[in-house]
Amino acid sequence: MKYVASLGMAFFLVAATPLTTVALQRGVNMGNMLEAPNEGDWGVFVQKEYFDLIKNADFDFIRLPVRWSGHADKSRPYTIDPVFLSRVDQVVDWALARNLRIIIDLHHYNEISDDPWGERNTFLSIWKQIAEHYKTYPPTVIFELLNEPNSLLQASLWNQYLGQALTIIRNSNPTRDVIIGPVQWNSFTFVSELDLPNDPHLVATFHYYLPLDFTHQGLDEVIKGSGRWLATIWTATDDEKAEIVRNFDYVADWSKRHGNIPILLGEFGVYSRAPQDSRIRWTMFVREQAEAHGFAWSYWEFGSTFGVYDPAAEAWHRDLLKALIP
């Protein structure tokens, strides 16, 4: 069977020997919901009606960040809380009922970056449980091994851990698509450090928030002192655009050298305190370049501080939505 997925000017063909099982195009992150310490701690909950909104807006997939490590026992066998797992199931089912693909992402696992040696067994156990639990789900459920490995989890060690986790997943999910990103917070410059196994069902991912003093201006709870960046603009000068094109070219060239592995731009966005006209220009240009390079993309995020939707007003930010889906 053959599937054709249009990514702007680019096309992925998935045939008898696919690069991946499921073609992704344009998605949105359900951020600040299930990766909060507890759902609702950061002001937003996953709501069933959001999935209709997302589907009707013409997104085709959701990236679901989940703080699995915060809902698993701290000692062997590191059992995931069944009540929390049931809640994730409910969210996944809401997506599948609307023919939305969904990425289950291991998110905000800060402990593994601070102490990768001490957290290895927890990491592998969590993936064993997730893999076995979802092994009968359709291929439109996709796994993402770890969001933004950083700090002490450097490339050589991360390459070991990703290989071990993938082996565990393949025992129960031999053909499910798995997304893997590089160290240094999924920085595009570190894709070249990824040592991926020979597996036809992998997608490589990176995140893009450059220039940081524009995209994160005023986000002091993440970057102390970022309030000094307020009123930073992005006017789409030739130099500003060339930098993004150059960086995306780097990822595309790496993909070609590695058998045209599919690429997901897993996160990109601008904090809501940035000047809105600049925010729209940057978002539109990054989205256009992702599509021009043949990358799938998922915007950060749906309904919180970077959000394309306003839950309080129950309305899309229309200018931002149009920048993503003209």
Supply the residues annotated as catalytic.
148, 267
Q: How far is CA 11 from CA 49, 151, 326, in A?
A: 31, 36, 19
CA distance 173 to 79: 20
**Residue type, position 285, single letter:** F
Instruction: Single out the residue of 77, 136, 130 nearest to residue 105, CA to CA.
Output: 130
What 3-state class would DSSP assign to 320?
helix
Counting other chains too, the contacts that 67-70 makes at CB distance below 8 Å and 24 or more residues apart are 67/34, 67/35, 67/36, 67/37, 67/107, 67/108, 67/109, 68/106, 68/107, 68/109, 68/126, 68/130, 69/106, 69/108, 69/109, 69/111, 69/112, 69/119, 69/122, 69/126, 70/37, 70/38, 70/108
CB atoms within 10 A of CB 134: 21
Q: Are 104 and 144 in contact (CB under 8 A)?
A: yes
Instruction: Single out the residue of 142, 30, 133, 131 nearest to residue 85, CA to CA.
Output: 133
